[in-house]
Amino acid sequence: MKLLRYGPQGEEKPGLLDTEGRIRDLSGVVADITGATLADATLARLRALDPQTLPLVPGEPRLGPCVGQVGKFVCIGLNYADHAAESGLPVPPEPVVFNKWTSAITGPNDGIEIPRGSEKTDWEVELGVVIGRAAKYVDAADALNYVAGYCVINDVSERAWQIERAGQWDKGKGFDTFGPLGPWLVTRDAVADPQNLNLWLEVDGHRYQNGNTKTMVFGVAQLVAYLSQCMSLQPGDVISTGTPPGVGMGAKPRPVFLRPGQTVRLGIDGLGEQRQITRAA
């Protein structure tokens, strides 16, 4: 099942994608796609619906972030061994945890704002994990049962603020528009194996990233279990699980970064695609 949110920013309505790729309105069934909607019982009720009985949404409305009212946006760094190598850093012995501010969240095609003065804005295609029920001190063997579904994330990063200035990575990760989510949330029953998904990203038609989640250092179940030891995860929380190699910072013979007026496309098998045009702040 593919759940989504559509409509003007701040006025998104809940919907689902039918088997023909058309948006069906869920407003008569649930108020929104948020943590409150992601309980197993509610998802089962939505799954039992016949999409043909739901109102068809005409045209091609804007898609909002696939989950609303996100409480925490937790990210994992250096979680692909080959990406750690291109960054010149060792594979971490434990997950590297940082945060994006929820004000960075945008729709999948809303565009990327290059911060004022930035010369090092970068891209990172990542598998997003959306929590479906409260998780605290869970075991890895049971961790996927706490997942509502998966989505595409572009972990946009400003490398100077992230690496070259004093303090935490968070500063370079949380600028406005740096967290596109979607296009839809694919429920976990529709993803046979989150550790075998191809993901890719291109800029102006040039493919920079090609990877597969099977090369993660820490898999989804390990990450959910690990994070639940140091924080409670709540329904609607989002985990961005790291990026494969091919980021601009690691390009050879010299780094390549985003500038206004470029087109970024990215996607994950079965989870859809995003398209963003960059613009100056």
Is the pLDDT assigned to residue 89 strictly greater than 80?
no
Domains and CATH numbers, the chain: 2-53 (no CATH), 73-280 (3.90.850.10)
Name the 3-class secondary structure at 65.
Answer: coil
Share of the chain above pLDDT 70, in %: 100
Sign of CA dihedral 218, 222, 224, 226: negative
Q: Is a pLDDT exceeding 90 seen at residue 91?
A: no
- Rounded (10°) CA dihedral 159, 218, 236, 128: 60
pLDDT (tens digit, 9 = 90+) per residue, 114-147?
999 999 999 999 999 999 999 999 999 999 999 9
Q: Can you give the pTM of this predicted structure?
A: 0.97
Mean pLDDT of 88-104: 93
pLDDT digits (tens, 9 = 90+) for 51-87: 999 999 999 999 999 999 999 999 999 999 877 777 7
Average pLDDT over residues 159-167: 92
